[in-house]
Structure 1
Amino acid sequence: MADILANALRFHVHRLPAVPAVPAVPGVPGDGAGRTVVFLHGLVVDNLSSFYCTLAVPAAQAGHDVVLYDLRGHGRTERPPTGYDTATAVRDLTALLAALGLDERPVHLVGNSYGGTVALHTALAHPDLVAGLVLIEPPLSGPWLENMLDTLSVAALALEGSEVPRELASLGARKAARLTATADALLNRTSLIDDIAVSRPLRPEDFARVRCPVLAVCGEHSELVPGARELARHAPRCTVRVLPGLGHDVLQGGTEEVRRAVLDHLAEAARQQADQATEAVPV
């Protein structure tokens, strides 16, 4: 783990090298490893740890270099009072990739919930930087955004001045106390809610500009399924996978199914890259 300075902010970053490395492909620059895969987590109480065992370690074992980081204000990354809009999140990510020396070749982005929104916006703003997208329960519709803002606002009011974090700590529930304190700090002492409130939902014409391969994974009972299917109607290379019996918590409730879907998607992308490289090698 390391702290990396990017976009004038200190980010908490964890990298997992590919183990084992994929055999070298003639004509492909680099050491033969699969693509770099960057994981982006969700809002408020989430951080990079939600991906570590569920997807990150399996991706590294499948031959991909893995990058996980805590988003602005989350986990162990610095928590400035402002800058929680999607455009700034995209600048954070691109600056972080540059600081890590990973801006020379396209990377795959895997985003859960709000992390999927950041990933999609990054692909639109920097198409040459993104080789592919995996969007797990991505919030792509206006109604979901309104519901989320209502939920965050209610949570902010409940946490303001609350003794819950101290009480949890006194009971020995240190992790729960830490997460509750983080949520209070983000919701009540930063511009996070206001920044999200002014975000513009993506439209069909935006989806049509997404040219990289996209896998959207949703739970059967999630209110985000219509948005994912709308994305697939307009993005030319998008596939939607709906997991039966699950809701928004597919990463926890359907870990094995999500893992298989993500690794299959990355493997197919690697095969296509290898085929393209082989065709480009002079005979």
Structure 2
Amino acid sequence: MIRANGIDVHVERLEPPAGEPGEVGAERGADPATLVMIHGMASDSLASWYFTVAKPFADAGLRVLMYDLRGHGHSERPPTGYTLDDFVDDLSALLTTLDVTAPVHLLGNSFGGTIAFAYAARHPDRVASVAAIESSPPTPAWMARVARRLDRAADLLPRPEALAQIVAGRGARVARRARDTGEMLVTTTLARDLPASALPSAAQISAIGSPVLCLYGANSAVVELAPAVVRLLSQTRTVVLPGEKHRVLVDRPEAVRRLVLAWLREECSVEVAEVATAP
């Protein structure tokens, strides 16, 4: 646990094996490149990274940094302060507290990708690349979708009958996570703050000059936003995974690992080791 931007933040760090490549560029002996993983909103936590791709990325030679967003997981849950700027401020303070001074590679899942884009728009000199899974920059169209999902969750999850249905259909573990999400939406201003966030302009988003990778599930509604992302950020490489929905990270972690590592090598000049593919 560290103190950053006035709250206690839960952080996990994985170091690459000694002697493995992972530095930006080809020079051996430099510090490994840092990959910051940002999870999604409401029902997510850093566990979605920890149990999927975090260790394979570290094994490939990257310094991996994960953290629970404010109000999520084991991080502090203040009653207020959940605008997009608050989440960007948290990331900025986190990197400063951990003395991460070199430009970082950001990997965001769902709304975590939006935080990554917003951070890159505000701090372009501190970002080496942005990779986003089932996400979008903070455009009005995307934020309207986020607001609708938060409204539905805030209305549904506090209901005992809804939790009972989740237990019956998806099990007790998922129901516990849903109950915690419902409590967060009732006891904090998240559902009001996030939709009311001040957004960067289209010009500010388009000024992001680092390489961008966007992964989408072909059967997810989020893929509809892919053309708008490319219009804003022409350098974006888009990959659509057939048959997948919004749970790309959880359902296809090996594909995520393979695609992101290849892109880091080819587009970002990051030297990473080959890691054996799971059978």
1:144–1:114: structure 2 CA closer, same or farther, 3 Å change rule? same
1:45 paired to 2:43: yes
Deviations 1:117-156 (A, max 9, x none): 0000000100111110111111445444334323322322
Q: 1:101 aligns to what?
A: 99
What runs of 5+ residues in structure 1 fail to find an aligned partner? 275-283
Identify which of structures 1 and 2 has the higher relative contact order when contacts are C-alpha pairs closer than 8 Å and 6+ apart.
2
User: What is the percent sequence identity of the aligned residues?
Assistant: 37
- After TM superposition, the structure 1 stretch with the greater mean CA deviation from structure 2, 30-39 or 257-266, is 30-39
Q: 1:121 aligns to what?
A: 118
Q: 2:6 aligns to what?
A: 8
Q: Which amino acid aligns with 1:108?
A: H
Shift of 1:239: 0.7
Deviations 1:179-229 (A, max 9, x none): 133212221111111112113566543332110011011111222223233
> In 2, distance between residues paired with 1:38 and 1:212?
15
> In 2, distance between residues paired with 1:12 and 1:95?
13
What runs of 5+ residues in structure 2 fail to find an aligned partner? 273-279
- After TM superposition, the structure 1 stretch with the greater mean CA deviation from structure 2, 188-197 or 160-169, is 160-169
Q: 1:35 aligns to what?
A: 33
DSSP 3-state at the match of 1:54: coil
Shift of 1:255: 2.1
Figure out how many residues of one structure are paired with residues of the other and give that number.
268
TM-score, with normalisation over the residues of structure 1? Answer: 0.84
Q: 2:86 aligns to what?
A: 88
Residue from 104, 107, 111 that aligns with 2:108: 111
Shift of 1:230: 2.0
Contact kept in structure 2, 1:105 and 1:129, CA below 8 Å: yes
Residue from 146, 151, 154 that aligns with 1:153: 151
TM-score, with normalisation over the residues of structure 2? Answer: 0.85
1:130 paired to 2:150: no
Q: 1:237 aligns to what?
A: 235
Contact kept in structure 2, 1:54 and 1:259, CA below 8 Å: no
> In 2, distance between residues paired with 1:79 and 1:15?
21
> In 1, distance between residues paired with 2:172 and 2:246?
26
DSSP 3-state at the match of 1:215: strand
Q: 2:258 aligns to what?
A: 260
Contact kept in structure 2, 1:23 and 1:32, CA below 8 Å: no
Q: Which amino acid aligns with 1:150?
A: R
1:264-275 pair list within 5 angstroms: 264-269=262-267, 271=269
1:23–1:189: structure 2 CA closer, same or farther, 3 Å change rule? closer
1:194-205 pair list within 5 angstroms: 194-200=192-198, 204-205=202-203
* Greater C-alpha Rg: 1
1:139–1:246: structure 2 CA closer, same or farther, 3 Å change rule? same
1:58 paired to 2:56: yes
> In 2, distance between residues paired with 1:164 and 1:27?
51
Deviations 1:40-60 (A, max 9, x none): 000111000101132211110
1:233–1:155: structure 2 CA closer, same or farther, 3 Å change rule? closer
1:7–1:231: structure 2 CA closer, same or farther, 3 Å change rule? same
Contact kept in structure 2, 1:48 and 1:75, CA below 8 Å: yes
Contact kept in structure 1, 2:105 and 2:127, CA below 8 Å: yes
Q: 2:276 aligns to what?
A: none
Residue from 65, 76, 79 that aligns with 1:78: 76
Contact kept in structure 2, 1:22 and 1:32, CA below 8 Å: no
1:216–1:161: structure 2 CA closer, same or farther, 3 Å change rule? closer
Shift of 1:267: 2.6
Contact kept in structure 1, 2:219 and 2:245, CA below 8 Å: yes
